[in-house]
Every structure is written in C-alpha cells, then in structure tokens.
Amino acid sequence: MVDLLATRSGQGRRFEPTEFIEEGARVAVGMTVRDPAWGGEAAKVFKVFTFDGEHAVLLQDCTGRDDALAYLSAGTEGRS
C-alpha cells in the first residue's frame, strides 16, 4: 500500500489526511485526494482501519463521513 501511494505521489496525486475518528480497535481516516489530471478538483474519501494489536488487519472503503461513522458504530458484522 505504501509503495502504491508513493507511486501515485510521484505522478502528482496527493493524499492529505483531514480527520481521524477513533472507535475501539477501529480508526476512520478522512482524506482529501488531489490529482493534476482531475483539473484542480479534489475528492474527499474515508478509510476505516481495524487493528489487532499494532497491526492493521482490515481496511474498509467508505462512501463518505456518514458511512464511516456507521461502520465504526456497527462494527464489521453484516457489512461487505
């Protein structure tokens, strides 16, 4: 994942963390993503990381902040 982000960064894509929300073993990270190919437009994305000790064991893409908050409060049961 780190190598992929480094490659994208080298191509001009930038990821700026904007928000961190912790809930137990899960952390939602809001990011603004910018890419020169998008004509100056930016996208806001949320990822939820689930940790087991010091290791991230699950990464969930969320459609927005509300989806990330619902994922944090409901856990992973019943979600795809």
49: in domain: yes
**How far apart, in whole angstroms, are the C-alpha atoms of residue 80 and residue 10?**
32
37: in domain: yes
pLDDT at 14: 83
> What is the distance between the terminal CA atoms of the chain, rounded to a whole angstrom?
21
Considering 1-10, 33-42, 63-72, the range whose residues carry the highest mean pLDDT is 63-72
Q: Are 79 and 54 in contact (CB under 8 A)?
A: no
Least confident of 10-14, 20-24, 34-38: 10-14
45: in domain: yes
b/e burial code for range 23-53 (CB count within 10 A of at least 16 → b): eeebbbbbbeeebeeeeeeeeebbebebeee
Print the domain residue range for 32: 2-74
79: in domain: no
Q: Quick one: average pLDDT of 25-51?
A: 90
> Count of domains in the chain?
1
